[in-house]
Amino acid sequence: MWIYEKKLQYPVRVSKCDPMMARFLIEQYGGADGELSAALRYLNQRYTIPDQVIGLLTDIGTEEFAHLEMIATMVYKLTKDATVEQLKAAGLGAHYANHDRALFYNNAAGVPWTASYIQAKGDPIADLYEDIAAEEKARATYQWLIDMTDDVDLQDSLKFLREREVVHSQRFREAVDILIQDRNTKKFF
């Protein structure tokens, strides 16, 4: 189903060790509106979506995994040279005690990821509106993350991810229009 190129979708650079920023970025790793939740939501919803837009959910769901990989890379780069004292000062002491520097699917507050983050109603239009909302929430979170760092290299990657959320939201809006137009078309048998 996939062809994997051993490179990130967009380059990830960071200019300094910043465990606090890593802690905040974890929101997009294992939070309710993060990349894992989005990927699983879209790939799950595709089974009950009409054929006209099934490819869209597959494509965007797959791309969300690429974004997850970018977030993981950012967190790794922001913490790889951090001391245990720096990790503790950033509020990552409990994470370090449980996982060392390994990533774990939780949000910025340390709440573990849960499948309840994945919404699927089975009604294509309701699901697509949920997807639009998820993309807009992710866009907002990326903007707030951009605002929280002065690392221009990190901001560059975050801006890329923010813009992809905008594109995904637009594509889901187009899919809603397609399905509404199809629903309103008289069917002759």
3-state secondary structure of 79: helix
Which residues, 6+ apart, have CB-to-CB distance to 62 below 8 Å? Answer: 2, 39, 43
> Which of 142, 118, 1, 4 has its CA nearest to residue 59?
1
Cα separation of 105 and 86, whole Å?
A: 21
Q: Is 67 among the residues known to form the active site? A: yes
How many C-beta atoms lie closer than 10 Å to residue 35's C-beta? Answer: 24
C-alpha torsion sign, points 101, 104, 107, 109: negative
Q: Does residue 165 have an active-site annotation?
A: yes
Active site residue 136: no
Pairwise CA distance, residues 121 & 104, whole Å: 28
Annotated catalytic residue within 27, 63, 64, 130: 64
Gap between the Cα atoms of 4 and 168, Å rounded: 21
Catalytic residue among 27, 63, 130, 165: 165
Catalytic residue check, 163: no
The single residue of 67, 85, 99, 130 carrying the catalytic annotation is 67
5 carries an active-site annotation: no
Task: Confirm whether 174 is a catalytic residue.
Answer: no
Q: Which of 35, 63, 95, 130 is catalytic?
A: 35
Cross-strand pairs, 106: 112
From 27, 95, 130, 168, active-site residue: 168
Give catalytic residues, as residue numbers.
35, 64, 67, 135, 165, 168
